């Protein structure tokens, strides 16, 4: 029996990717789509490659009072707007919020699915991690759990493709200005810092004091790479071993000997992590790669939905990355 | 029961994409992979995102004398090398040749799957169309069949992403030289002209005399767009109608009112066609878009393999395009 | 003695490029800049790499009633707005209008500088050709003048980088949507057609009936390539010879044996043209390449300003293209 | 009177950029060019946009025994080859080596031109800094000189466009593999570390122990950005002030309040630096941007040549960055 799902925020990149994944999901049936920018259009007008079965679905203006019967709602709304938009969704509709408003909010599980799936299963409200936290925390979790890195003083140099800035980004992300350009931004005050700090502390039972996070916009459409510098008396091999044990049997995290490249993940729900350490210098470098719209948004959202619907965790998420 | 398939040419872009599609195919099981540049590696070394079930498959050096039991072989070899390489493949192994050597060769079906599937079903040797012909002929077929365009004097202005030049392309396709560059090449003598001319004549029962074909390299990884100019006393609406009738019920061709964009097809086996005509000027413009590695190579190859294996034509090919 | 120049439309790409060229010009001194989007900023805020001598110039809101003393004004305003904006500029201020409103307007020279410099010298109002016409007409002029191509039935398949769509382009030209995407647009009705048709007729004394013009957006920042198909009983060699004679001694047009690539022109005022012809098929292919912001906008504007100020035609325009 | 200059390594990106800058230099005359890959070609065959005065110069195979009379030789050869190639150049020919072999070699000045011009003037052998060191040291110099940052434990997260990998890069830098891909490499062992460490120590009189340097390849042609993390009890304002004082009157370094973007420098010899500091956390972030072929290679080489030829330091280097 199919599970009836809806998407609010279908006009954005995250909502569009959720549509793509749901279209290929064995148990989910997309019965509702809402979006500010495209209300009134059919899905096929917005996404010319949408499958025939979904082509005629009309995108609606969001109104939580007039939802059809839904089992799961995916929300992909700009940070700052989803708390209010989702407040009146009926309690029996499960929600996965891809946006930023419910991370570590009361009543919401923080959906770091590869790290703590058991914490998510059985919940009815899940807040998806941001794309930078997804890459960062997936790379750090095995080191923090294994005490191979100190939780304090971690420096995260983060790089994202431009779709990570969202479709509503406006003039700042025009092609001509963004192409052939690499742009640091949000120094010392990025919105993703609190959820990273909180999760580091949960995973380490220590203090994340001194956390530094510097995001950069890279001229590519998709992909996140974080290069993380921390203190720890360990070796490259020990880090890789710890990560392999930590993620043994988990479907989506690949631990690689060589530094991961963003293109390895494109279009998939995979995360790639690797490490380099120098015992003498008390230095650990951790790297994490995700597709910001996959594991960084819609992929992890579907994974979380699978967990809360008691489906196989990888259902609908077995697409191999698109390369080149 | 699964169908045992192999790929020769796995190191190239077409072979890699075939691997990606086969990995997600409900009936195909990849049991053999050969490739010059990567012999001895495991699939996971070459494709870090490959599913666990295929990770350990070792890439072999091609040797038709020592093949495992295979039902279907996909060949993706440089033009000029596949005729010899495939000559000694056992007769009971079905072959889909993505490369250029067997197009309109004796004993081989020309695998223009969306146009003449019945001509392909039941065959054991299929030559896949080139990526430019796939886009061109899919756009032209309804007009030629409906006598809306003259078969002679057609001008094809063709544009391809750089993966269309192949992985063996060498120094000419370096990033720094190719990025921000648009390059016409092969004027008046491109290798794809004969198969286009031959197929135009088959579809029209007329002469393709005066065919002009000008390819251009566009700074993007994937995608083919052909803009075709011909003579015909018709209207835009008549062309669109003819195409909608021609492709009614066919799974992979989308006829759109607006000009198609290459990104609509990325990662999929879809083809998009559209038209503009001016009755007074005796002018017809046809446009076709495909992913050069999808419908232009591996996607159409899997479609052809489905046809010759008597499987549902769309098996394993229902992936929605990756956007953005 | 320096010539006092101003720019209106400094916020746009064309205006910015004019600033760049004027900054390096031996006789021009930039004393005035106006721009809607950046009024009140200093030039250095808008263009962090501006030379020290210009850094403090404050961008003003356009007001023709309060101009400083100017010898030449460069206008780079959206098509449809420059006619009104420039109407009240004092008569003794020479104007080069990069925008579209004054092409073939009464009292304005059409500034196709490489083709008819004598027609421009001595004028005080010059309308710059559009970027597509600049590439097209530079390639066609020698063939039309030499009767090597028929003026009727010419098909122009035009490709432009995305800065050609202008900075005011808005949401349609976001990086994520435009990257890896090739987009035909404006079929059978592009705004550049009339000036192309008019100029073809001037150069040939014949009718440009049946002209076809199809523009495409290419995922690159700068560059225009036109691939032009026409009828003519000639040879490749004859076309190349005609062009070499036509442009002998002219500083900015390069006739090449091989098809020109857009990157050859980046950042410069050069135009590259080449040809292929097939006597038997009565077919001529002409190709033209320019930087849409160079010869296609600000470069040609400075060339026109040099002509009307009786300066050496190449003054300030000797920058070698940036490659790669 | 013109100064006679030659280039060895004209086929590479650095050599090509040197040609571009020399072509526009008021005192340099290019009289000799050598290059492995293009020997026998005329400059115009290799660089279609080269000025007429240089078009006919024939590229030679390198042979130090048969040089024409030269005042200055620019060498842009792969690291590991220039020491031997340049050993037999006559003593009266001044050399600027863009390649890596002579950095901190005996008898060679380390050409960090914006920081210590007086150390370079009067020398006859100058080793150009690498592109990463150029960006890094220009950003760090004011902080090190002012004791605002500790010389030990500095972490450099470096990002470069793909031309930084050189034209001889081969298959690893193909367009299709590199586009839409972000790739960390050379962890804990990059070739640029020693010159950075040595210069940090010179500038600080302290130890650079614990230096970490992680380079990344970014999908763009040109541009280097370094994001540098260090310890220091200071503020953002104090760092900016120190840099503004340090570079007061210097022509090529711009200190900006906002984080610098790589595109600000494209095609120019400029360097952009900015800072963020947090007194409480004992944290300093320094950022530096250069064009890897400009200040990171040929631009700084011309600046060094100006210094050793007693010319104005900015001669031939006043080109405004190309934007967008």
User: Do residues A168 and A259 both lie within one domain?
Assistant: yes
- The pLDDT of residue A169 is 45
Across chain D, which distance is largest between two alpha carbons, in Å? 62
Mean pLDDT across C203-224: 97
Indicate whether C313 belongs to any domain. no
Can you tell me the distance from the alpha carbon of C136 to that of C123, in angstroms, rounded to the nearest whole number? 24
Residue D153 has pLDDT above 80, yes or no: yes
Can you tell me the distance from the alpha carbon of B21 to that of B42, in angstroms, rounded to the nearest whole number? 18
Contact B49, A268 (CB under 8 A): yes
Chain C within 8 Å of D254 (Cβ-Cβ)? yes
Residue C81 has pLDDT above 50, yes or no: yes
Chain A within 8 Å of B41 (Cβ-Cβ)? no
CA distance to C14, C158, C177, per residue, from C172 (Å): 19, 19, 8
Can you tell me the distance from the alpha carbon of C320 to that of C317, in angstroms, rounded to the nearest whole number? 9
- Tally of CB atoms within 10 A around C59: 23
Residue D173 and residue B171: Cβ atoms within 8 Å? no
Residue C48 and residue D272: Cβ atoms within 8 Å? yes
Choose, from D34, D95, D109, D131, the residue flagged as catalytic.
D131
**Which parts of D216-280 fold into alpha helices (H)?**
236-246
Chain C within 8 Å of B285 (Cβ-Cβ)? yes
Residues in contact with D28: Cβ distance below 8 Å, sequence separation at least 6, in sequence order: D2, D3, D5, D22, D72, D302, D305, D316
Chain C positions touching A179 (Cβ under 8 A) are 162, 175, 179, 219-221
Interface list for A 136-165 with C (CB within 8 A) = 161-163
- Tally of CB atoms within 10 A around D311: 18
Interface probe, candidates C174, C181, C220, C296, chain A, greatest A C-beta count within 10 A: C174
Can you tell me the distance from the alpha carbon of A324 to that of B294, in angstroms, rounded to the nearest whole number? 12
Residue C179 and residue A13: Cβ atoms within 8 Å? no
Q: Which helix (H) or strand (E) holds C124?
A: none
- The pLDDT of residue C79 is 87
Choose, from B3, B131, B286, B298, the residue flagged as catalytic.
B131
User: Do residues D139 and D90 both lie within one domain?
Assistant: no
Residues in contact with A100: Cβ distance below 8 Å, sequence separation at least 6, in sequence order: A79, A80, A82, A130, A191
Residue A184 and residue D214: Cβ atoms within 8 Å? no
Specify the 3-state DSSP secondary structure of A97. Answer: strand
Nearest CA in chain B to D161: B176
Residue C214 and residue B227: Cβ atoms within 8 Å? yes
Closest approach of D323 to chain C, Cα-based (Å): 7
Mean pLDDT across C143-159: 98
- Of B217, B322, B233, B323, whose CA–CA distance to B277 is shortest? B233
Indicate whether D89 belongs to any domain. yes
User: Do residues C78 and C64 both lie within one domain?
Assistant: yes
Can you tell me the distance from the alpha carbon of C314 to that of B96, in angstroms, rounded to the nearest whole number? 58
Measure CB to CB from residue C173 to each of A13, A161, A174 and give the nearest one. Answer: A174
Residue A221 and residue C167: Cβ atoms within 8 Å? no
- The pLDDT of residue D36 is 87
Neighbours of chain C (3+ CB pairs under 8 A): A, B, D
Residue A181 and residue D287: Cβ atoms within 8 Å? no
Q: For D294-304, b where at least 16 C-beta lie within 10 A, e where not — what string? A: bbbbbbbbbbb
Contact A158, A132 (CB under 8 A): yes
Percent of all residues in chain C with a pLDDT value above 90, rounded to a whole number: 93
User: Do residues B65 and B141 both lie within one domain?
Assistant: no
- Of B173, B95, B138, B105, whose CA–CA distance to B296 is shortest? B138
User: Do residues A149 and A43 both lie within one domain?
Assistant: no
Query: pLDDT category, C191, cuts 50, 70, 90?
Result: confident
User: Do residues B274 and B249 both lie within one domain?
Assistant: yes
Contact A111, A128 (CB under 8 A): yes
Alpha carbon A224 to chain centroid, angstroms: 10
Mean pLDDT across C196-212: 97
Residue D175 and residue B219: Cβ atoms within 8 Å? yes
Interface probe, candidates B131, B139, B187, chain C, greatest C C-beta count within 10 A: B187
Chain D positions touching B221 (Cβ under 8 A) are 175-176, 179-180
Can you tell me the distance from the alpha carbon of D80 to that of D103, in angstroms, rounded to the nearest whole number? 12
Dihedral sign of CA atoms A215, A219, A222, A225 in order: negative
Q: What is the pTM of this model?
A: 0.97
Interface list for B 213-232 with D (CB within 8 A) = 219-221
Closest approach of B219 to chain D, Cα-based (Å): 8
User: How is the beta sheet containing B3-8 ordered, strand by strand?
Assistant: B28-34, B3-8, B72-75, B94-97, B125-127, B109-110
- The pLDDT of residue A162 is 96
Residue A220 and residue D188: Cβ atoms within 8 Å? no
User: Do residues D283 and D233 both lie within one domain?
Assistant: yes
Query: pLDDT category, C169, cuts 50, 70, 90?
Result: very low
Closest approach of B60 to chain A, Cα-based (Å): 21
Q: What CATH number does the domain containing B153 carry?
A: 3.30.360.10
Tokens 């700084």: give the residue: D300
Contact C29, C57 (CB under 8 A): no
User: Do residues D142 and D287 both lie within one domain?
Assistant: yes
Can you tell me the distance from the alpha carbon of B130 to that of B191, in angstroms, rounded to the nearest whole number? 9
Per-residue pLDDT of chain B (324 residues; tens, 9 = 90+): 699 999 999 999 999 999 999 999 999 999 999 998 899 999 999 999 999 999 999 999 999 999 999 999 999 999 899 999 999 999 999 999 999 999 999 999 999 999 999 999 999 999 999 999 999 999 999 999 999 999 999 999 999 999 988 664 445 689 999 999 999 998 988 888 999 999 999 999 999 999 999 999 999 999 999 999 999 999 999 999 999 999 999 999 999 999 999 999 999 999 999 999 999 999 999 999 999 999 999 999 999 999 999 999 999 999 999 999
Query: pLDDT category, D189, cuts 50, 70, 90?
Result: confident
By the 10 Å C-beta count (0-12 exposed, 13-18 middle, 19+ buried), A25 is classed as buried
Chain C positions touching D53 (Cβ under 8 A) are none
* Four-CA torsion A249, A251, A257, A259, nearest 10 degrees: -150
Neighbours of chain A (3+ CB pairs under 8 A): B, C, D
Residue D47 and residue C319: Cβ atoms within 8 Å? no
User: Do residues A100 and A171 both lie within one domain?
Assistant: no
Indicate whether A184 belongs to any domain. yes
Residue D192 has pLDDT above 90, yes or no: no
Q: For C282-304, b where at least 16 C-beta lie within 10 A, e where not — what string? A: ebbbbbbbbbbbbbbbbbbbbbb
Interface probe, candidates B49, B167, B179, B318, chain A, greatest A C-beta count within 10 A: B49
- Tally of CB atoms within 10 A around C106: 6
- The pLDDT of residue B169 is 45
Contact C109, C125 (CB under 8 A): yes
Nearest CA in chain D to A286: D187
Closest approach of B24 to chain A, Cα-based (Å): 7
- The pLDDT of residue B166 is 66
Chain A within 8 Å of B15 (Cβ-Cβ)? no
- The pLDDT of residue A237 is 98
Indicate whether C315 belongs to any domain. no
Chain D within 8 Å of C248 (Cβ-Cβ)? no
**pLDDT tens track for D46-104:** 999 999 999 999 999 999 999 999 999 999 999 899 999 999 999 999 999 999 999 99
Indicate whether A110 belongs to any domain. yes
Residue D263 and residue A188: Cβ atoms within 8 Å? no
Indicate whether A159 belongs to any domain. yes
Chain D within 8 Å of B92 (Cβ-Cβ)? no
User: Do residues A136 and A282 both lie within one domain?
Assistant: yes
Find the domain containing D257 and state its range.
Answer: 131-294
Indicate whether B322 belongs to any domain. no
Measure CB to CB from residue D180 to each of A187, A216, A220 and give the nearest one. Answer: A220
Measure CB to CB from residue B267 to each of A52, A318, A322 and give the nearest one. Answer: A322
Q: Would you name the residues of A annotated as active-site residues?
A: 131
Indicate whether A108 belongs to any domain. yes
Chain A within 8 Å of C266 (Cβ-Cβ)? no
Mean pLDDT across D215-229: 98
SS3 track for chain B:
CCEEEEEECCCCHHHHHHHHHHHCCCCEEEEEEECCCCCCCEHHHHCCCCCHHHHCCECECCCHHHCCCCCEEEECCCCCCHHHHHCCCCCCCEEEECCCCCCCCCCCEECCCCCCHHHHCCCCEEECCCHHHHHHHHHHHHHHHCCCCCCCCCEEEEEECHHHHCHHHHHHHEHHHHCCCCEECCCCCCCCHHHHHHHHHHHHCCCCCCCEEEEEECCCCCCEEEEEEEECCCCHHHHHHHHHHHCCCCCCEEECCCCCCHHHHCCCCCEEEEEEEECCCCEEEEEEEECCCHHHHHHHHHHHHHHHCCCCCCCCCCCCCCCC
- The pLDDT of residue B192 is 86
Contact C245, C225 (CB under 8 A): no
What string of DSSP letters covers A29-88?
Answer: EEEEEE-TTTTTSBHHHH-TT--HHHHTPBPB---GGG--S-SEEEE---TTTHHHHHTT
Residue C176 and residue A163: Cβ atoms within 8 Å? yes
**pLDDT tens track for C241-281:** 999 999 999 999 999 999 999 999 999 999 999 999 999 99
- The pLDDT of residue A192 is 86
Per-residue pLDDT of chain A (324 residues; tens, 9 = 90+): 699 999 999 999 999 999 999 999 999 999 999 998 899 999 999 999 999 999 999 999 999 999 999 999 999 999 899 999 999 999 999 999 999 999 999 999 999 999 999 999 999 999 999 999 999 999 999 999 999 999 999 999 999 999 988 664 445 689 999 999 999 998 988 888 999 999 999 999 999 999 999 999 999 999 999 999 999 999 999 999 999 999 999 999 999 999 999 999 999 999 999 999 999 999 999 999 999 999 999 999 999 999 999 999 999 999 999 999
- Of B53, B56, B209, B73, whose CA–CA distance to B128 is shortest? B73
**pLDDT tens track for C49-62:** 999 999 999 999 99
CA atoms within 13 A on the CB side of A246: 27
Tally of domains in chain B? 2
User: Do residues A118 and A160 both lie within one domain?
Assistant: no
Chain C within 8 Å of B233 (Cβ-Cβ)? no
Residue C48 and residue D16: Cβ atoms within 8 Å? no
Contact B297, B223 (CB under 8 A): no
Can you tell me the distance from the alpha carbon of D266 to that of D279, in angstroms, rounded to the nearest whole number? 33
User: Do residues A257 and A140 both lie within one domain?
Assistant: yes
Can you tell me the distance from the alpha carbon of A96 to that of A303, in angstroms, rounded to the nearest whole number? 10
Specify the 3-state DSSP secondary structure of A297. Answer: helix
Instruction: Name the E strands within C151-209.
Output: 155-161, 183-184
Contact A218, A182 (CB under 8 A): yes
Contact A135, A192 (CB under 8 A): no
Can you tell me the distance from the alpha carbon of C126 to that of B304, in angstroms, rounded to the nearest whole number? 59
Q: What CATH number does the domain containing D59 carry?
A: 3.40.50.720
């Amino acid at each position: 029996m199919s599970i009836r799902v809806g998407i609010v925020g279908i006009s954005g990149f995250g909502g569009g990717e959720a549509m793509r994944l749901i279209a290929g999901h064995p148990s989910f049936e997309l019965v509702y789509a809402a979006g500010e920018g495209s209300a009134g259009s059919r899905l096929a007008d917005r996404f010319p490659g949408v499958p025939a079965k979904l082509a005629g679905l009309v995108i609606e203006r969001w109104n939580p009072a007039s939802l059809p019967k839904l089992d799961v709602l995916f929300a992909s709304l700009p940070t700052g707007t989803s708390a209010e938009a989702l407040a009146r969704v009926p309690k029996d509709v499960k929600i996965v919020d891809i946006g930023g408003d419910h991370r570590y909010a009361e009543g919401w599980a923080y959906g770091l699915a590869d790290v703590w799936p058991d914490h998510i299963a059985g919940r009815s409200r899940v807040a998806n991690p941001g794309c930078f936290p997804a890459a960062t925390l997936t790379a750090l979790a095995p080191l923090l759990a294994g005490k191979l890195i100190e939780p304090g003083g971690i420096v995260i140099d983060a790089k994202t493709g431009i779709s990570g800035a969202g479709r509503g980004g406006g003039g700042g992300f025009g092609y001509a200005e963004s192409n052939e350009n690499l742009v640091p931004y949000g120094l010392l005050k990025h919105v993703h810092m609190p959820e990273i700090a909180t999760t580091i502390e949960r995973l380490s039972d220590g203090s994340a004091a001194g956390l530094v996070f510097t995001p950069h916009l890279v001229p590519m459409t998709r992909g996140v790479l974080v290069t993380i510098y921390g203190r720890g008396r360990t070796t490259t091999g020990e880090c890789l071993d710890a990560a392999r044990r930590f993620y043994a049997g988990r479907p989506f995290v690949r631990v690689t000997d060589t530094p991961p490249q963003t293109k390895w993940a494109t279009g998939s729900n995979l995360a790639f992590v690797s490490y380099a350490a120098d015992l003498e210098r008390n230095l650990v470098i951790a790297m994490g790669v995700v597709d910001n719209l996959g594991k960084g948004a819609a992929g992890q959202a579907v994974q979380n939905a699978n967990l809360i619907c008691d489906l196989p965790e990888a259902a609908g998420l077995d697409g191999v990355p698109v390369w080149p």
